[in-house]
Amino acid sequence: MITTNWHTHTKRCGHAIGEDEEYVQAAIQAGLKTLGFSDHAPYLEPLPSERMNYEQYPEYLQSIASLKEKYADQIRIYTGLEVEYYPDQWEQLSSYRKQLDYCILGQHTLTFDGPSSYQIQNGDALMRYVNAIEQACVHGLCDYIAHPDVALWTYPVMDGSVRAAAERIADISLQYNMPLELNCGSGVYRGLKEYEDGERYGYPTRAFFEVFAEKQCPVIIGMDIHDPQKFLTDLYLERALSVISDLNCNVLYDFDLVQAAEKRKREFY
């Protein structure tokens, strides 16, 4: 079991369950020493079932701050958000960046109102996804890339475009010292899926992590928790680790993301 998790949601996003304190209590029970909350970033335009409403954001900050104080002698708690790169939301994104302990990038859509990164099925769209990741790093908006292979959720076959995308993401990671996440969330929760070239998890995908291992990109394990009970099982962690079995991945256990975030913010802001 890992002892640090930076990727934790709350029920405010509309597709998670449980109270904030239940997440903290379950994390402590599971033996975690560091817990980062990174719920889906709110924007002025609401998107029910996908992210918290903007009006909920102050209460999110207050709740996590209160739990940080209450459980200070048992676990380190930090406040972040999972953001996307949307140029038309620059003012909001930069505000979050300055205010929070850290931000992670989970590029769920290619633009603010779609299309979805879960519906990418050709190389051109895949490269648009990679371009968004690069721009987030260029502008210092994040501290690691969550589920970098989420764009392969419906991608039919591990072709040359997949390899090219993986190589570009790896180069971005190295250029900006940006860790890439081995995600233990929905991609493995739902089990193996059938694709044109065989069975695999929606993500993480071995095709991407083969490249990340070759180039020795920094990798962080993210549990992507939407239910506090998921802290209490190693099943999904084991599934994710099985994807990279026998690869020489540069996994950063117990990486201090907040310290890295402070350094990055000084550079950009």
Count H helices, E strands: the chain?
A: 9, 10
Residue 187 has pLDDT above 90, yes or no: yes
Is the distance from CB of 126 to CB of 162 less than 8 angstroms? Answer: yes
Phi-psi domain of 191 (left: phi exceeds 0; alpha: psi -120 through 50; beta: other): left
pLDDT bucket at 228, cuts 50 / 70 / 90: very high
Residues 198, 206, 123, 150, CA torsion sign: positive
Q: Determine the pLDDT at residue 194.
A: 97
Of all residues in the chain, the percent with pLDDT exceeding 90 is 94
pLDDT bucket at 64, cuts 50 / 70 / 90: very high
Least confident of 90-94, 103-107, 158-162, 229-233: 90-94
Which pLDDT tens digit goes with each residue over 24-54?
999 999 999 999 999 999 998 877 778 999 9
Compute the average pLDDT of residues 54-58.
Answer: 96
Residue 114 has pLDDT above 90, yes or no: no
Residue 157 has pLDDT above 90, yes or no: yes
Give the global pTM.
0.96
Question: Residue 196 carries which side chain, given as an amino acid letter?
Answer: E
Q: What angle do CA 95, 100, 101 make, to 5 degrees?
A: 150
Which residues lie below 8 Å from residue 244, measured CB to CB, with a gap of 6+?
A: 182, 204, 206, 209, 213
Instruction: Please name which of 254, 253, 136, 159 lies closest in space to residue 205, comparing C-alpha atoms.
Output: 159
Which 3 state secondary structure label does DSSP give 61?
helix
Question: Residue 52 carries which side chain, given as an amino acid letter?
Answer: M
Residue 149 has pLDDT above 90, yes or no: yes
Largest separation between any pair of C-alpha atoms in the chain: 51
Residues 41, 42, 43, 46, CA torsion sign: positive
Which 3 state secondary structure label does DSSP give 240?
helix
Pairwise pLDDT comparison (173 vs 90), residue with the higher score? 173
- Copy the structure tokens of residue 254: 């117990």
- Phi and psi at residue 109, in whole multiples of 5°? -135, 155
pLDDT bucket at 146, cuts 50 / 70 / 90: very high
Q: Determine the pLDDT at residue 268.
A: 87
β-pairing, 144-145 vs 102-105, is: parallel
Query: Can you list the domains of the chain with their CATH numbers?
Result: 4-268 (3.20.20.140)
